[in-house]
């Protein structure tokens, strides 16, 4: 297949490119060449998806079997690439997010049939938050593309090359060892998915010419919070001692859930469905999820090759002094 990937040089997109090349696709990537390096073997077209002249240069007289759009966040911008590529590919696959669903994370069991945020297909960057705009991006593809439209709505993605910083921060913190503040309850069941498994599923669906929407999160309860931290300790060989601190204590001290302690969703009604979306449709269609131990091990194998000072965790992680203060107060 001839496959155009918009993005493709960082995390999930990189995994899609790697898998597409492995399957023998002729891969074109389209990005600005700023955030990462294109994998060897692709035809790299440099350009900004926001610039009409760059899209024109990309498309000029060309066709592909499929477009996989990994990096769309603003409906108006996505609409521009949909218009440029309409009629030039059989399938337009758009990587959205479970956050486009307004029932998540509050409602356990949310799936593709749950309501999406109201957002116009031509909305601009200031017209909503991440999830709302993703819903508008989905509509921009659904309404503007005449061929197969495949919408992939991932849940929490982990794996090598993660640029968000969640598992990289936990691995780095646990590797440092000592008493580690662990939030909430170790038995909290999670549902995480490896970027490489989403990549394989997306390409399976693209190759089959399927136009559908799929929630793609892992298998329910594929790891617990305690199990994930234990895996971090195991792969890093650290002496970390986890001190499980109650949600209430942390919330009272304004510790930010999800970011300051990555992946921590306190046991409150608004987070009741965080780890309980249903990806049954994708699993029935063949989404295969590797063991979380493999994800954690491979992520550490990648991360340990990056000097600690050069690792980037985005908004994630708690200040070490604050962590020590909280632990001293708690115990
Ligand atoms: N992480 C999660 O847990 C999670 C969960 C649900 C959904 N998602 C979704 O999964 C996707 C993850 O994306 P990723 O970052 O891993 O993708 P990626 O394709 O690996 O990296 C982002 C790519 O977009 C390119 N890019 C950014 N702005 C661009 C522009 N204006 N024009 C052209 N190219 C541009 C970047 O290159 P340049 O900067 O060099 O242009 C880079 O190649 C996102 O859609 C995200 O919303 C993630």
Of 5, 6, 12, 165, the one to substitute when testing ligand 1's pocket (max ligand atoms within 8 A of C-beta) is 12
Q: State in Å: Cα 108 to ligand 1 middle.
A: 28
Q: What is the mean pLDDT of the chain?
A: 97
Annotate 90-102 with three-state secondary structure. Answer: CEEEEECCHHHEC
Q: Give distance in angstroms: CA of 234 to centre of ligand 1.
A: 30
Q: Is the pLDDT of residue 282 over 90?
A: yes
Q: How much distance in Å is there from the Cα of 329 to the middle of ligand 1?
A: 40
Give me ligand 1 centre to Cα 14, in Å.
9
Sign of CA dihedral 133, 103, 317, 301: negative
pLDDT tens across 63-95, in order? 999 999 999 999 999 999 999 999 999 999 999
Is ligand 1 within 6 A of the CB of residue 9?
A: yes
Closest ligand 1 atom to residue 38 Cα is: 43
The Å distance, Cα 163 to ligand 1 centre, comes to: 10
Tens of pLDDT, residue by residue over 220-274, are 999 999 999 999 999 999 999 999 999 999 999 999 999 999 999 999 999 999 9
- Is 234 touching ligand 1 by the criterion CB < 6 Å? no
Task: Determine which residue's CA is closest to atom 1 belonging to ligand 1.
Answer: 157
Structure tokens at 77: 């911008």
Measured in Å, residue 76 CA sits from the centre of ligand 1 at 16
CATH code, 164-191+222-274+293-330: 3.90.25
Please state the CATH superfamily assignment of the domain spanning residues 2-154 in this structure: NAD(P)-binding Rossmann-like Domain (3.40.50.720)
133 in ligand 1 pocket by Cβ < 6 Å?
A: no
- Give per-residue pLDDT as tens, 172-221: 999 999 999 999 999 999 999 999 999 999 999 999 999 999 999 999 99
Q: Is the CB of 169 under 6 A from ligand 1?
A: no
Sheet of strand 43-46: strand arrangement? 43-46, 26-31, 2-6, 66-69, 91-95, 148-154, 213-216
- The atom number, within ligand 1, closest to the CA of 130 reads 47
* Ligand 1 near 50 CB (within 6 A): yes
Structural domain spans, the chain: 2-154, 164-191+222-274+293-330
Query: Does residue 100 register a pLDDT over 90?
Result: yes
Widest CA span in the chain: 67
Instruction: State mean pLDDT over 290-311.
Output: 97
Ligand 1 neighbour 63 (Cβ under 6 A): no
Report the share of the chain in percent with pLDDT over 70.
100
| CB 15 near ligand 1, within 6 Å | no
pLDDT of residue 95: 98
Q: What percent of the chain has pLDDT over 90?
A: 99
Domains 2-154 and 164-191+222-274+293-330 equal at CATH topology level: no
Instruction: Report residue 331's pLDDT band, with 50, 70 and 90 as the boundaries.
Output: confident
Distance of alpha carbon 39 from alpha carbon 62, whole angstroms:
22
How would DSSP label each residue in 23-80?
A: TT-EEEEEE-SSSS-PPTTSEEEE--TT-HHHHHHHHTT---SEEEE-----HHHHHH
Residue 10 Cα to ligand 1 midpoint, Å, equals 7
Query: What is the rounded average pLDDT of the residues 96-104?
Result: 98
With contact defined as beta carbons under 8 Å apart, do 13 and 5 qualify?
yes
Spacing of C-alpha 327 from chain mean position: 31
Atom of ligand 1 nearest to the CA of 134: 47
| DSSP state at residue 117 | P
78 CA → ligand 1 middle, Å: 13
Reported in sequence order, the residue ranges of 87-240 that DSSP labels E, i.e. its strands, are 91-95, 148-154, 156-158, 179-183, 189-190, 192-194, 213-216, 223-224
206 within ligand 1 shell (Cβ under 6 A): no
């Amino acid at each position: 297949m001839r496959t155009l990937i918009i993005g493709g040089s960082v995390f999930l997109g990189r995994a899609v490119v790697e898998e597409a090349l492995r399957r023998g696709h002729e891969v074109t990537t389209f990005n600005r060449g700023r955030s990462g390096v294109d994998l060897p073997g692709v035809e790299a077209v440099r350009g900004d998806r926001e610039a009409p002249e760059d899209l024109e240069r990309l498309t000029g007289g060309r066709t592909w079997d499929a477009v996989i759009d990994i990096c769309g966040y603003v409906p108006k911008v996505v609409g521009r690439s949909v218009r440029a590529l309409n009629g030039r590919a059989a399938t337009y696959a758009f990587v959205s997010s479970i956050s486009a669903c307004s029932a998540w994370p509050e409602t356990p069991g949310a799936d593709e049939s749950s309501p999406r945020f109201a957002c116009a297909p031509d909305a601009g960057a200031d017209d909503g938050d991440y999830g709302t705009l993703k819903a508008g991006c989905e509509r921009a593809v659904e309404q503007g593309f005449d061929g197969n439209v495949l919408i992939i709505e991932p849940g929490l993605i982990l794996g090598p090359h993660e640029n968000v910083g969640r598992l990289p921060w936990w691995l780095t913190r646990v590797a440092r060892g000592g008493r580690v503040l662990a939030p909430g309850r170790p038995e909290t069941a999670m549902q995480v998915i490896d970027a490489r498994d989403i990549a394989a599923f997306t390409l399976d669906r693209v190759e089959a010419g399927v136009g559908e929407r799929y929630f793609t999160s892992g298998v329910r309860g594929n790891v617990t919070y305690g199990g994930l931290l234990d895996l971090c300790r195991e792969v890093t060989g650290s002496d970390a001692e986890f001190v499980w601190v109650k949600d209430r204590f942390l919330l009272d001290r304004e510790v930010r859930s999800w970011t300051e302690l990555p992946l921590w969703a306190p046991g409150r009604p608004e987070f009741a469905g965080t780890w309980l979306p249903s990806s049954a449709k994708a699993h029935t269609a063949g989404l295969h999820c590797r063991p979380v131990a493999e994800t954690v091990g491979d992520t550490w194998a990648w991360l340990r090759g990056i000097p600690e000072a050069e690792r980037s965790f985005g908004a994630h992680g708690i200040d070490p002094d604050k962590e020590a203060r909280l632990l001293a107060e708690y115990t």
